[in-house]
Amino acid sequence: MKNNIKVKQAIILCGGLGTRLGNLTKNTPKPLLKINKSTFIDHIINHLVKYKFKKIILLTGYKSNQFKKKYQLKKIKNTIIFCKSEKKLMGTGGALVDAYRYLDNYFLLVNGDTFLDINYFDFIQKFKPNNSKLLMALIKKKNTKYGGVRFIKNRVVSLSKKNINSKYINSGLYILDKSFLKTKEKKKYYSLENDFIQDLIKKNKVQSDVRNDFNIFIDIGTKNDLRTAKKIMKDFKRPAVFLDRDGVINEDLGYVHKINQFVWRKDVIKSIKLLNDKNYFVFVITNQSGIGRGYYSVSDVKKLHDWMNETLYKNGAMIDDYFIAPYFKGSKNYSSNFHFNLRKPNTGMIKLINKKWAIDKKKMYLFGDQETDLQLGKKILAKTFLIKKKTNILKVIKKNKI
């Protein structure tokens, strides 16, 4: 059962001193430490932007002016960032209580020093607000220095910092119903885990969600962790799936450019979600000569793709990016060599994708319904699949263990 809640706000806890990192945090807050070319929190923010959160609030404490200088009222695509500073250190729980009036009824919460790479859409859908106040993402632990979490039938029954007999740890990623924060006095120091979550566990109000669908989990709490994070992020690339549109995602009814012309093919949305859950990039690459022919405009195609996105979001899925080739030989505006090179089987769209996204070129898959699609796949050394009228793309993905 899907829930009916909308989670459009993400909170990042950034107030800690980072004492375990020694001199590294003497002048720089932990989330602002560089992981290669970007700050650690930039990696978190970019992931949140990818999943269309409208508002991100940074709850800051230690050297809060550094966050304000870089992020206050910063807009990335359709996401706006705010900084809420605490006048004195109030802990992870105290910072939330202090920010209560700025919080949506339901919000996603992440730590500023950990990053879990999962499908946030799917995670949000797992939350059951009728009988829970908090959803906790669990992952299998690889290191005994972390505490453990016990759960029974998706309900957390024990949370400990000690190495208890459990295979799972709290990843520090949550969905929260803010109502349970209201009972606490403001301007006091509270620990989210000790003063809130432990109490909610006793009341059977903490839901667990074991996540196996992630490529990386990074914690920069210690110097060793930070070195590991830099090594992982330096070479981190995702596998990619390239989907033709008409004939693969939707029925090819000829120059489709309106919502009322668009018919989803069977199990396509489930297929895209499965790829999202496996942390593949999913791109649409589509020849649209109808633009060059003057049948419709780039704006018409964008509106249709925006509608596709909204449908996918409601089902816990997303397409990372769309690329179109509007080339037509007789067009005044779309007959240049640049536009010709975009058109499949030429590789122009793939080159644009490679400039913008970090793709693992050893793990590329292309799905198309035309010979030109397969020719493109061969040129870029992707594994190709011909999708015919009766082909079920979900079965193809599962069969080939993509």
Distance CA 57, CA 82 (A): 5
DSSP assignment letter at 239: E
Distance CA 91, CA 13 (A): 9
**Omega before 345 cis (within 30°)?**
yes
Which residues make beta-bridge pairs with 264?
250
Q: How far is CA 194 from the centre of its chain?
A: 28
Which residues make beta-bridge pairs with 152?
155
User: Annotated active-site positions, please?
Assistant: 244, 246
Strands 206-210, 134-140: pairing is parallel
Cα distances (Å, whole numbers) of residue 260 to 144, 201, 267, 304, 326: 55, 48, 19, 10, 21
Residues near 336 by beta carbon (within 8 Å), at least 6 away in sequence: none
**How is the chain split among helix, strand and coil, in percent rounded to 5?**
35, 25, 40
Torsions phi, psi of 309, nearest 5?
A: -60, -45
Radius of gyration, alpha carbons of the chain: 23
Distance CA 388, CA 189 (A): 61
Torsions phi, psi of 157, nearest 5?
A: -115, -15
Q: How far is CA 151 from the centre of its chain?
A: 25
Q: Residue 248: which of 345, 391, 108 has the closest Cα? A: 391
